[in-house]
Amino acid sequence: RRHLLSLADLEPWEYDIILQTSASFAEVLSRPTPKVPTLQGRVVAMLFFEASTRTRNSFELAAKRLSADTLNFSPGTSALNKGETILDTAKTLLAMNTNLMVIRHQYSGVPHQIALECDRLGTGVGVINAGDGQHEHPTQALLDLFTLCSQSNTKQPSLASLQGCKIAIVGDILHSRVARSNLYSLRAAGAEIHLAGPPTLVSEAWENLGVRVHWQLAPALQDAKFVMALRLQKERMHQHFLPSLREYHREYGLTRERLSLCQPGVKILHPGPANRGVELTSEVMDDPDLSLVSQQVNNGVAVRMAILYLLSTVRITA
């Protein structure tokens, strides 16, 4: 099987292959003609059942930089509206000789279900989870990892560079598929992970995974080298959610003043889309000395090129 559905079982050596392959493609992308013929003749189908700006465009550009052909599926203009099922939609695209499928869905497990069907049919097609419900978002965590490791060594980023490094993850852990994937990758790296947020969004149960949970921001930020802010997923909260966005910002919003608790030279990450003035101030988000947000987006193309390439040629994970 050739799927990337979860980071739960990825081995450290597999992360290093992904990091090194991403660095090679980042070099390709820095050339005047940033394109290689690696996946010429291959077809990458993008099935985004849920909204996306970064992930969808990044995968599309990654596939094009590798010279693959892309199929774009939009639920609103598809035969789903005539009652066709998700599996029949996937089978329709498989019949067009699709080689890889990139799938985002609002419900957890949809990419897994389609991967099972691809395996059952013996297609050899690889399925990539581009974010499923509240479950996982593996390629976001991999581009976050690449961004973090590249801070130590741009040309040869390695997992070992994060060993013992204090990383705070602040915000809506409860609803975040990004947080779960990040926990797997950062744990594999041996990072010291601190989660912070209100009790309604960060459960003590996370401590069973070997991380520290804080319901106050200061101890999480104290001496942190990196701080990852997570979006408050308003669409998954009811009207009277505690805390309100204003209350959240008052207690947990990342401001320049609060970040002075961190290590000098601290860097901020956010997977986007961000609620400015809630998770962090615009002053923090737009400060190029502080914020890695644009670098995350930029790195996403190289990392997704690496994933498309590796899944096309060698087995990453079952």
Could you list the residues that contact ligand CP (CB under 6 A)? 52-55, 131, 137, 140, 271-273
- The CB-of-218 to ligand CP minimum distance in angstroms stands at 27
Nearer to ligand CP, 169 or 213 (CB): 169
273 annotated among ligand-binding-site residues: yes
234 annotated among ligand-binding-site residues: no
258 annotated among ligand-binding-site residues: no
- The CB-of-57 to ligand CP minimum distance in angstroms stands at 8
104 annotated among ligand-binding-site residues: yes
- The CB-of-164 to ligand CP minimum distance in angstroms stands at 27
Nearer to ligand CP, 59 or 94 (CB): 59
Q: Which amino acid is at 66?
A: L
Nearer to ligand CP, 115 or 269 (CB): 269
The CA–CA distances, whole Å, from 138 to 252, 253, 303 equal 26, 26, 11
65 annotated among ligand-binding-site residues: no
Beta carbons of 257 and 284 less than 8 angstroms apart: no
Nearer to ligand CP, 131 or 198 (CB): 131
Residue 210 in 3-state DSSP? coil
91 annotated among ligand-binding-site residues: no
Burial of residue 295 (CB within 10 Å: 0-12, 13-18, 19+) is middle
Closest C-alpha among 223, 298, 221 to residue 253: 221
Phi, psi of 262 (to 5 degrees): -80, 175
177 annotated among ligand-binding-site residues: yes
Burial of residue 144 (CB within 10 Å: 0-12, 13-18, 19+) is buried
Quote the CA–CA distance of 83 and 81 in Å, as a whole number.
Answer: 5
The CA–CA distances, whole Å, from 123 to 91, 115, 131, 267 equal 10, 10, 22, 43
Closest C-alpha among 91, 156, 78 to residue 117: 91
- In which order are the strands placed within the sheet that holds 166-170? 212-214, 192-196, 166-170, 226-229, 267-269
- The CB-of-56 to ligand CP minimum distance in angstroms stands at 6
Nearer to ligand CP, 94 or 184 (CB): 184
264 annotated among ligand-binding-site residues: no
- The CB-of-252 to ligand CP minimum distance in angstroms stands at 20
Nearer to ligand CP, 94 or 308 (CB): 308
- The CB-of-161 to ligand CP minimum distance in angstroms stands at 23
Q: Which residues are annotated as a binding site for carbamoyl phosphate?
A: 54-55, 104, 137, 140, 272-273
Q: Which residues are annotated as a binding site?
A: 54-55, 82, 104, 137, 140, 177, 231, 272-273
Q: Which residues are annotated as a binding site for L-aspartate?
A: 82, 177, 231
